[in-house]
Structure 1
Amino acid sequence: MLAKDIMTKEVITIKAYARIYELTKLLAEHHISGVPVCDESGKVVGMVTEADLIELRNGTQVKDIMTREVISVSVDTPIEEVAAILHTKKIKRVPVYDQGRLVGIISRADIVAAMAQKLSR
């Protein structure tokens, strides 16, 4: 199985200049724990998570608390490799790209669901 087989295709994102309040509302309303941060052109410039909020860094905008180094995978990355990246980098989600364009996101829950599907066969 490849990343494209298990990724969530409708990626919820937030702008770097969004207020922290908007981020908390977005995470709560969608029952998610993190999102890619995009600039005005739609390019991913960071990731922001519940952990970033809880660290209570100073700032009023998403850009003030986001993680700027984004680890990502391609649509053709095997899910075993995605799982290894999540584990070794101690992260909970990775954006998925196809020819430089954001097309999905994979979380640990997606990996577990794929494992459950594979093991039930």
Structure 2
Amino acid sequence: MRFENRLSRDIMTRDVVTVPMNAPIKHIADLLSRKRISSVVVTDSVGEAMGVISDTDILKVIGKGNWEKMTAENIMTHNLEFVKPTSTLTEAAGIMGKKHIHRLLVFSEGGVGASHRPIGILSASDIVREAARE
């Protein structure tokens, strides 16, 4: 299948790693390290996405007073950018480029499951890797 026709659902990571809003930053840093990932989704008590924390977000606070006592809620990015599973990789790449971001959450289509519960995550490296296959 040609790159232009590939969909987000074709290459997204389906096992989204989540943490609660009160998760300590130190715990999140350990989780990123153990799972060898670069971000986690922050969820509320019912599993809806509230933010994202990347390794870069953690780097920004390391060494600042009492950073070990900070929680996910303190440093998460609140502006969630997302695509639907049927969005093309070209559309996703366009959003990432325009917004200067490295990952997009994938939310289910309207009417299928909870609309703000991530079903996947799509990273810039996923798209670049797929483009290289062409």
* TM-score in terms of structure 2 length: 0.82
Shift of 1:53: 1.1
2:132 match: 116
State the alpha-carbon separation in 2 of the partners of residues 22 and 115 from structure 1: 34
* Structure number, greater radius of gyration: 2
Superposition RMSD in Å: 1.4
How many pairs does the alignment contain?
A: 118
Tell me the SS of whatever aligns to 1:55: helix
Q: What displacement does 1:79 show?
A: 0.5
In the other structure, the counterpart of 2:40 is 35
Q: 2:106 aligns with which of 87, 96, 101?
A: 96
Runs of at least 5 residues in structure 1 that lack an aligned partner in the other structure: none
Shift of 1:6: 1.0
Q: Give, in whole Å, the separation in 2 of the partners of 1:116 and 1:10.
A: 24
Structure 2 match to 1:15 = 20
Give 3-state SS (helix, strand or coil) of 1:9's partner: coil
- Please name the residue that 2:112 is paired with: none
**Percent of aligned pairs sharing the same letter:** 32
Structure 1 residue aligned with 2:73, among 56, 63, 66?
63
In structure 2, runs of 5+ residues without a counterpart are: 1-5, 110-114
Equivalent position amino acid for 2:106 in 1: V
C-alpha distance in 2 between matches for 1:51 and 1:112 = 20
Any runs of at least 4 consecutive aligned residues in structure 1 with deviations exceeding 3 A, and if so which? none
From 59, 75, 85, give the equivalent of 2:95.
85
Cα deviation, residue 116, structure 1: 2.1
TM-score normalised to structure 1 length: 0.91
